[in-house]
Amino acid sequence: MAPSHPPSTTAGGQPHPITLKVLRLSRPTLTPQTPLPPSHFGNGLDIPAQASLAYSSADPNSSFPLTPLLTLPSAFGAAYVGETFTCTLCASNGVREGELRSVSAVRIVAELQTPGREEGVGLELRGAEGGALEGEEGGDVGPGGTLQRTVRYELKEEGEHVLAVTVSYTETLLNGEGGGASGGGRGEWRAGEEFQEAVPLIAVRSKVTERQGMGREERLGRQFVLEAQLENVGEGAAVLERVWLGEREGVTSRAVVCGGEGREAVVLKPRDVEQVMFVLEEKRGSGEVGGRVTLAQLNIDWRGAMGERGGLTTGWLASKGR
């Protein structure tokens, strides 16, 4: 994210001593590389194909495109529903040594405005060591120093999100002769950072079919087949760790075809599709005969290409009434 700048001056006409930067925390990626094609100009004009590589491989003939070098993201990147958005808020004290003023009790408050909560959701701030800072009144930041706080939020909705940050501080004006206080007051300003829309990484298309001819015995209830297609609609690869059902009370299920559980990991490249299938049974007498039956919610746990976790839970899936 780009840095946030406060208003140019305070109500008293003085520049704000505190500035803020909002930085998204993302995992680095492996650096790709592509060797130059061989040339045959002769007369010393040929350039070795390995000269363009960012990492000199032990095997000069290797064409593997990834290197052990890590690259930090150069842009914000995509924000996916189901992942945890993490960013750092850095409040910097712009007062220089020797100025006749000081800043203390710097405090940062953050909230996130989501499509479903336009009034904003208060975010818990954590310090550099990861501990929660409940009830903190503020921190003292010396000249040129920085107060750093981290916020985390699990993205559950599609659409635009706005991170609103309020910075407050106490400014003390110093007497040049004896070094005592000659005035000051409390300062505060608010900034909003709007980042791109949160979009789904895994698109789910599902179908529920009742098994005909099943459940005729008195001890059995109605049975259903739940089929779902999971498509990677993101920009990078995703690994399905677990696909499972959260059944309604009175419904049991078993997996027939299910990726990511009890088998090798399923890697979905962009636009790849994985098919899963479950058989569900409703206990006899637990629902309306022939009516619409609410069955379960489909849960998907996944990891990104560099190991970042994510998850998705669908709404309640139901059968069609007869």
| Token pair recorded at residue 239 | 């690994």
Q: What is the mean pLDDT of the chain?
A: 79
Q: Which residues pair with 217 in a beta bridge?
A: none
What's the half-sphere exposure (Cβ side, CA atoms, 13 Å) at 104?
6
Predicted confidence at residue 183, as pLDDT, reads 65
Neighbouring C-beta atoms of residue 114, cutoff 10 Å: 20
Predicted confidence at residue 73, as pLDDT, reads 76
SS3 112: strand
Q: 161-196, pLDDT tens digit by residue?
A: 888 888 888 888 777 665 566 666 778 777 776 666
Domain with CATH 2.60.40.1470 in the chain: 201-318
Predicted confidence at residue 69, as pLDDT, reads 81
Q: 110-154, pLDDT tens digit by residue?
A: 998 888 888 888 888 887 665 555 545 567 788 888 889 999 999
Q: 20-54, pLDDT tens digit by residue?
A: 888 888 888 887 777 777 777 878 777 776 676 76
DSSP 307: S
Q: 254-267, pLDDT tens digit by residue?
A: 888 765 455 567 89
Domain with CATH 2.60.40.10 in the chain: 18-26+74-199
Neighbouring C-beta atoms of residue 276, cutoff 10 Å: 25
Give the pLDDT mean for 74-82. Answer: 79
CATH topology of domain 18-26+74-199: Immunoglobulin-like (2.60.40)
The single-letter code of the amino acid at 311 is G
Does 225 score more than 80 pLDDT?
yes
Cα separation values, 156 from 14, 26, 117, 261, 313, Å: 42, 18, 12, 24, 9
For 201-318, give the CATH class: mainly beta
